[in-house]
Amino acid sequence: MGRVTASHAIHPEISSLRDLEEEQQKRVSEQRSALTRKEEEHRRLLEKKRQTILSEETQTLSEREAEEQRSLEQESQRRLHDVSAAVQALEDAYTSTSKPLADALIARVMDTAFFTHV
């Protein structure tokens, strides 16, 4: 019977060790789960930060593009104004110098006496 008593004395220790091992495995599992949650949260935060940066860069590019478009439109309007002014100056020059000469020449050609001198 001495043996049975010894095995009963050992059995509670084995059972206690198993309980301790299960407890440790449970803590390890909980720690893994907590770590996994933290990693997922970290990934979400990084993705959110990346999206924020992309949105800011997109906004900045859109603003630059709009500013460049306004600048191009202003330059185009300025050039159109310059060309219109140049055309008007040519028309004014023609009206003040060439047109009277052309009108006089036409009037002279239309005069029948012109052909008698030729």
Domain count, the chain: 1
Q: What is the DSSP letter of 111?
A: S
Encoding tokens for residue 58? 């997109």
* More confident call, 6 vs 45: 45
**How large is the average pLDDT for residues 64-86?**
97
* More confident call, 59 vs 97: 59
Q: How confident is the model at residue 8 (pLDDT cuts 50, 70, 90)?
A: low
**How large is the average pLDDT for residues 21-38?**
96
Q: Quote the domain boundaries for residue 6.
A: 2-117
* More confident call, 92 vs 12: 92
Predicted pLDDT of residue 2: 47
Whose CA is closest to 29, among 17, 21, 18? 21
Measure the CA–CA gap between 78 and 70, rounded to whole angstroms. 12
Look at 44-48, 66-70, 89-93 and tell me which has the smallest mean pLDDT: 89-93
Predicted pLDDT of residue 1: 44
Return the number of other C-beta atoms located less than 10 Å from residue 94's C-beta: 13
Encoding tokens for residue 23? 């407890």
Q: What are phi and psi of 111, to 5 degrees?
A: -70, 125
CB 100 within 8 A of CB 94: no
Predicted pLDDT of residue 84: 95
**pLDDT at residue 63 above 90?**
yes
Whether the predicted model's global pTM rises above the 0.85 cut: no
